[in-house]
């Protein structure tokens, strides 16, 4: 039975109509080192991730920096260094700090801002090590250097975070991100770059008004619990395909709680879209799988996703190498 199952996996991957699945390092190799640090990106590169993600927000002086949130307090020592810079909601916002100020902060493993407890207790110990915030330009230069010194090309996968919120605050993030990407050689669909965003209106703006010619992915959140997935309604995916190259759904929208594919991937493929699902974590497995091997088989083989975001890119790379012919 084991041999038969292995042959079925090989056949499925070998005969898939789309390209071999991509492993996308989620915030770098963030299962091992603090997220979005250059150290986490270097490890992801060494672990042979196909693409490495950059979440992008703006500083007060309009510099795109690589951080997951518009808030700072969950991933650095800002409360200790600038205790008087909280807003009325008690949070510290990246947009309230200049780049020079951000450079003085020490990044740490993600913690709950209210309790101070580490979100993933088994990961890199919070408060140890010296890690810093990087600009988008610095990270792209760093990855290009690794490509040169190792002889392998790794793609980039930036996400524009909360563009509508940035505009309400008086800052237009999207043109600034596009300028950095174009300066570093990412502008066309042939370039190893996917640009992603949760804001459907901004995705339309990126493609239209701002003239982005590269690959574009619309991120989507959880589907409603009490209704069918709206993405599966007639014409929805076909309409999206006029603007984007793919969608980025959560794992629960790809494989249901019963362990069966939801049909979203197949429908997206019929519309000509790729599906890059998020996020696989060894220390927080999806509800539909009891172990790593089962989860990856369901996602890559049963559901047929084209790419997977993971905090542990090495596990995905190893699994795919074992499954490929």
Residue 248 lies in a domain: yes
Residue 87 lies in a domain: no
Residue 88 lies in a domain: no
Give the contacts of 231 (CB within 8 A, at least 6 positions apart): 220, 223, 237, 247, 249, 253, 264, 267, 268
Rounded mean pLDDT of the chain?
Answer: 94
The 10s digit of each residue's pLDDT in 12-43 is 444 334 478 999 999 999 999 999 999 999 99
For the annotated catalytic residues, the residue numbers are 26, 68
Q: For every residue of 119-145, which 3-state class applies, written as one string?
A: CCCCCCCCCCCCECCCEHHHHHHHHHH
Residue 270 lies in a domain: yes
Range of the domain at 306: 2-70+133-323
Handedness of CA 295, 284, 218, 317 (dihedral sign): negative
| pLDDT score, position 324 | 78
> Domain with 54 in it: what CATH number?
3.20.20.190
pLDDT score of 5 more than 90 = no
The 10s digit of each residue's pLDDT in 108-145 is 999 998 898 999 999 999 889 999 999 999 999 999 99
Residue 143 zone, left/alpha/beta (φ > 0; ψ -120 to 50; rest) = alpha
Residue 75 lies in a domain: no
Query: From CA 260, how far away is CA 302, in angstroms rounded?
Result: 8
Q: Which of 254, 298, 301 minimizes the C-alpha distance to 9?
A: 301
Residue 256 lies in a domain: yes
How many domains in the chain? 1
Residue 257 lies in a domain: yes
Query: From CA 126, how far away is CA 129, in angstroms rounded?
Result: 8
pLDDT score of 8 more than 90 = no
Residue 207 lies in a domain: yes
Q: Which two tokens stand for residue 174?
A: 């999207």
Query: From CA 321, how far away is CA 325, in angstroms rounded?
Result: 8
Give the contacts of 42 (CB within 8 A, at least 6 positions apart): 142, 146
pLDDT band at 10; cut points 50, 70, 90: very low
| pLDDT score, position 225 | 81
């Amino acid at each position: 039975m084991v041999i038969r199952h292995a042959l079925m996996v090989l056949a499925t991957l070998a005969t898939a109509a789309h390209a071999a699945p991509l492993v996308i390092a989620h915030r770098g190799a963030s299962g091992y080192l603090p997220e979005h640090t250059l150290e986490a990106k270097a490890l992801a590169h060494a672990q042979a991730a196909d693409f490495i993600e950059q979440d992008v927000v703006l500083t007060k002086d309009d510099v795109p920096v690589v951080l997951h949130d518009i808030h700072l307090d969950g991933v650095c020592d800002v409360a200790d260094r600038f205790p008087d810079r909280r807003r009325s909601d008690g949070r510290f916002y990246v947009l309230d700090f200049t780049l020079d100020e951000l450079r003085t902060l020490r990044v740490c493993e993600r913690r709950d801002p209210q309790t101070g407890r580490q979100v993933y207790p088994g990961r890199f110990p919070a408060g140890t090590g010296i890690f810093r915030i990087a600009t988008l330009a610095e990270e792209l230069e760093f990855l290009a250097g690794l490509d040169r010194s190792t002889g392998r090309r790794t793609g980039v996968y930036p996400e524009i975070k909360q563009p509508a919120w940035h505009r309400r605050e008086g800052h237009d993030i999207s043109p600034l991100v596009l300028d950095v990407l174009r300066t570093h050689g990412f502008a066309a669909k042939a370039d190893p770059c996917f640009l992603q965003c949760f804001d459907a209106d901004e995705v339309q703006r990126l493609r239209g008004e701002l003239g982005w010619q590269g690959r574009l992915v619309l991120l989507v959140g959880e589907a409603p619990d009490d209704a069918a997935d709206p993405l599966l309604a007639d014409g929805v995916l076909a309409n999206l395909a006029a603007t984007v190259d793919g969608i980025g759904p959560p794992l629960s929208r790809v494989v249901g709680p019963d362990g069966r594919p939801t049909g979203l991937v197949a429908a997206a493929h019929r519309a000509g879209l790729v599906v890059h699902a998020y996020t696989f974590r060894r220390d927080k497995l999806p509800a539909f799988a009891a172990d790593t091997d089962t989860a990856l088989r369901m996602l890559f083989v049963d559901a047929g996703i084209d790419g997977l975001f993971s905090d542990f890119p090495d596990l995905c790379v190893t699994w795919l190498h074992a499954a490929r012919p």
